[in-house]
Amino acid sequence: MAKVLCVLYDDPVDGYPPSYARDGVPQIARYHDGQTTPTPQALDFTPGELLGSVSGELGLRSFLEERGHTLVVTSDKDGPDSEFERELTDAEVVISQPFWPAYLTAERIAKAPQLKLALTAGIGSDHVDLQAAIDRGLTVAEVTYSNSISVAEHVVMMILALVRNYIPSYQWVIDGGWNIADCVSRSYDLEGMQVGTVAAGRIGSAVLRRLKPFEVGLHYTDRHRLPADVEQELGATFHDSVESLVEVCDVVTINAPLHPETENLFDERLLAKMKRGAYLINTARGKICDRDAVARACESGQLAGYAGDVWFPQPAPRDHPWRSMPHHGMTPHVSGTSLSAQARYAAGAREILECYFDGRPIREEYLIVNAGALAGAGAHAYSAGNATGGSDEAARFTAG
């Protein structure tokens, strides 16, 4: 029987919720491209529950224990003395999240001789050293598309929050003021602006579809060009380089996976090519941007604002400059873990585990690495290599 080691974020500070704001979430059968939502044989949770925190356990405990497996759930994931590090030595399956990643470095993989499956509850498996996984012949899988629309909605929200100067205006209300001039001195209309996405996969193309009614100019760059009819439907202009895109856009949103080719893509040089006063939105991965270069661009005015919910490492140390730089709209990594999204990625995690333990093939679109090579979604969107370097700095969040 297998040990399944699951790393999830902490419960709310006031405890696991006894009730919720709504009685349920809408049920979705298919995504925009026709892919079906997860189809496990059964569920042991009610959609709309908080499943992504420690007490939620992704709704997996009864399923796994009824089959004789052991489930260990923890939020203690960083440093050599963490529970994750201790329990990893004999784990066969590791489940982690992009929001609270258990970084599976080459060193940790080497300490886990029984490890066979690294499963991401959500999308984005860059917290796994993919090169080490390939070399070891591990399977790496994620619940592709489960929270893509959740992230796309978050992108649109953050664009509007920055461009319309929403957060400082809200703060004036909290502070008891009525300072209209202060609120509008950095507020603009999105209408008529040029908006571009770096990568137009499931999230990037969903962002474009949602922004089209705002009567903006739409742009994108991607290693895979969209079909001509989709470009025409969206009215989107293709750019064959990131440089070409950022030079013409007032708003740039990053929706690419993190791998060696995208790591530190938005560095001092690329930020300097953007329009002065442009806005940069990053709900992809924090390491795609040079942390200090972004902070300097916000301080100098090269960027009018930066928003996102992805950091590196995660959780970010308390002295991370994105917490204190001016004109930012940062949140913890929450875009893809709404209660609606959790119902899908928890169901997808169970579907993958059912396939794994029953000896059935895991859906091709869920695979990142399989049989020693990039596969499925991984072959489409990732490059081999390692993007986990420096992740040990996450321990500084708890250290204070």
Interacting residues of 215 by C-beta distance below 8 A, sequence separation 6+: 191, 192
CA-CA distance, 123 to 54, in Å (whole number)?
A: 19
DSSP 301-353: TSEEEEEES--SSSSPPTT-GGGTSTTEEE--S-TT--HHHHHHHHHHHHHHH
Residues 250, 144, 76, 328, Cα dihedral to 10°: 10
Burial (CB count <10 Å: 0-12, 13-18, 19+), residue 89: middle
The SS3 of residue 193 is coil
Angle, CA of 71, 94 and 126, to the nearest 5°: 150
DSSP assignment of 7-61 = E-BPPPTT-S-SS-SSS------B-TTSPBPP--S--SS-TTS--SBTTTGGG-H
Closest CA to 150 of 123, 128, 190: 123
User: Whole-angstrom Cα distance, residue 246 to residue 185?
Assistant: 25
Pairing mode, if any, of strands 194-198 and 251-254? Answer: parallel
User: Which residue type occupies 78?
Assistant: D
CA–chain centroid gap for 306, Å, is 17
**Known catalytic residues?**
147, 285, 314, 333
Residue in 62, 65, 142 with CA at minimum distance from that of residue 97: 142
Report the alpha-carbon distance of residue 366 to residue 118 in Å, rounded.
Answer: 12
Class of residue 383 by CB neighbours under 10 A (exposed 0-12, middle 13-18, buried 19+): middle
- Owner of token pair 């992805």: 310
In whole angstroms, how far apart are CA 137 and each of 85, 198, 203, 245? 21, 31, 29, 38
